[in-house]
Structure 1
Amino acid sequence: MAARLSFNKILFIMLLLLISIPILAQDEDKPVKVTTDLVTLTLTVTDQYGRYVSGLKKNAFTVYDEGQEQEITFFTDADAPVSIGILFDISGSMSGEKIQRARKALERFMNISHPMDEYFLIAFNSRAQLLLDRTRDSEALLRKLTLVRPKENTALYDAVYLGIERVTRGAHQRKAILIISDGQDNSSRYSFKEVRNLLKETDVTIYSVGIMDNNDSRDPIGLQGQAFLDELSSVSGGKSFYPQTSVEMDEIFERIAVELRNQYSIGYIPKNFQPDGRWRKVKVKVKPPKGMSRLIVRTREGYYATPTIKYK
């Protein structure tokens, strides 16, 4: 009798396990949502002559969030790879020498960049097209650009919107976008305001290289395009450039590549954080080492107070 009862108990336990296992498996398959209040900033530090300053320690930086000093909980100055969106203008206004100069300078940029950088290539004329997604093959990217022919109008705003969406999904912690364009938009569905608002929701740094000639700099559409590029770069802590010669263009692309390899990343959890969706202004100050004059720090202007959601 005892043996029979033991067998029945064992059978009952096995049935319970069979019922329980699928339920457990279903729970494990569901992504776990984790919210965090950590704010991350990418910093570029230069001296008064524009030279990059490396080797600073965490205690050299002070972060203010809505005017209140914060405790830096994350800090690194490692030469780490970056997820980079390359936005290349192939509209009719980029024909001839403009696009040839830009291709050559981009090759220089990629030769100097971190070998593990991840690239997204978006070409745009009347519409924005993702030509390459998440690649480390710089040669493949450059080959893609040899096949394009400039034509049609310019959907610059759409290209930037798509670029932000794609690069935020990149594998690396730091994200950047390099815009290569004459800045003239005449074919986008998205507006200036929509692109700017999307950018302000991210920690993507934008660098823009305006490929303009003398006519562009006097044309109202050209001036509007320049204002757009300047605004995006300023909001994100990046920079915009307007080379006049091929030599200047090569130097600028080289400078951007070097900058991406000489940045600091810091993080902090804001005091009295309230996820109310408001825009919060951020300011970072840097104390120069003894014997060094005033330093200049660039970073994004702020962030929206919403918790970051990550899935594990």
Structure 2
Amino acid sequence: MRFAGRIFPVLLVIICTSAWAAVVRSPSEAAAVVEALLSERNKPSGAHKTAPIGELQSELPRFAVEVRMVNLLVSATDGAGHPVKGLVAGAFRVFENGVEQDPAFVASEEVAFNLALLLDLSGSTLRDRNTMKLAARRLIEIARPQDKIAVYALAADQFRVIAPLDSDRTRLLRAVETIPDLEGSTPLYASIALAWDQELAARPSERNALVVISDGLDDSLEGKPTPLVFARLLRAVPYMPVLIYPIYLDSQNIFYGARARRNMEGLARASGARILAARSAEELEPAYAALAEELRSVYTLAYYPKNQNFDGGWRRVEVRCLRPGVRLRVRQGYYAR
């Protein structure tokens, strides 16, 4: 009977997690995902052809040399943080390593997004569980009708698909409500890589955003073994066609909290996005509105680099707007491979 008493809770967890997660992946897969991405970008540029601009107008920030064209996601806001609409190619100036480039294409800011939500349901966020579910519901509710949304979770040591990309808000909200109160370890960086790989990686011709709701406390910060180190994930982000928006729940951890936030800020900055921080459910409400406005202020800007010698080096990118008072946010550069 003692054995049965010990094994029953384990079986209950297995049954519950399999019932609400459509797909379960091990965080150990993340290293292979990242290495495959980086090795693909290491291919010699001569092995690829230049594609016409019409085929690449939405390739987003996938700075791969096979197309010999750079695509940027550019967020444009005014001084109050409101989206600026109606900008055309002539309103932008683009510089690569200090050399001005000629914008070839600017896409409308009203194009739909694929919005993936990653909920960190590990042990470190147990006290924030209701707040995280509320955040997921609010983000689903404020998304535009043309946007598709997916809900993923890091829970019970695994990456889990709660709901794949879908535009059915009722179905998505119902899926969020089925999430049980589980916990476990925190392979957060690995889960971020898997969240990109799950569906967004197959959609490089679409606009993609990944919202990570977490306290940022990956196992590695405590010196524990981890499937994917932060430095490797950060190295791969410039090759991922996705904007990463961490909604950072301040854990107030005196040992690792500051570093956790810096790392989340680094991922956001490398993708061309920004971090949204909150200490409570009340502080999250402005974050929802800020994110919704952010996604409405994004342009896709494409140009053919004047330097066609793709030698694998880092190229710094700067975008300026000729309209006074407009503030731009864009990733800082790319590896020319």
1:211 paired with 2:249, answer yes
Give 1:48-127 correspondences, 5 Å limit. Answer: 48-96=79-127, 98-125=128-155, 126-127=157-158
- Matched residue, 1:234: 269
Match for 1:146 among 138, 152, 177? 177
186-195 or 265-274, which moves further after superposition? 186-195
What SS class does the counterpart of residue 290 from structure 2 fall into? helix
In 2, distance between residues paired with 1:109 and 1:158? 23
What amino acid maps onto 2:139 in structure 1?
F
Partner residue in 2 for 1:298: 329
Aligned-residue offset at 1:115: 1.6
Structure 1 residues 1-312: aligned runs within 5 Å: 35-96=66-127, 98-125=128-155, 126-148=157-179, 149-166=181-198, 167-170=200-203, 173-186=206-219, 188-212=226-250, 216-289=251-324, 294-306=325-337
Q: CA deviation at 1:188?
A: 3.3
Cα pair 2:116 2:165 within 8 Å, conserved:
no
Normalised TM-score (structure 2): 0.73
Q: State the aligned residue count.
A: 267
Q: Is the 8 A contact 1:134 1:170 kept in 2?
A: no
Shift of 1:52: 2.4
Asked if the contact 1:122–1:159 (Cα under 8 Å) also holds between the matched residues in 2, the reply is: no
SS of the equivalent of 1:158 reads helix
Stretch deviating more after TM superposition (202-211 or 190-199)? 202-211
RMSD between aligned residues: 2.1
The structure whose Rg is larger is: 1
CA apart distance, 1:112: 2.0
1:261 CA displacement: 1.9
* Inter-CA distance 283–168: structure 2 relative to 1 (3 Å threshold): same
Give 1:276 shift.
1.8
Whichever residue aligns with residue 288 of structure 1, its letter is R
Q: CA deviation at 1:218?
A: 4.2
Separation in 1, partners of 2:242, 2:152: 16
The normalised TM-score by structure 1 is: 0.79
1:7: which partner in 2? none
Matched residues in 2 for 1:123 and 1:288: separation?
41
Q: Which amino acid aligns with 1:277?
A: G
- Structure 1 residue 144: deviation in Å? 2.6
Give the drift of 1:171. 7.0
Q: List, as ranges, runs of 4+ consecutive aligned residues in structure 1 with deviation greater than 4 Å.
A: none
Give the AA of the match of 1:169: A
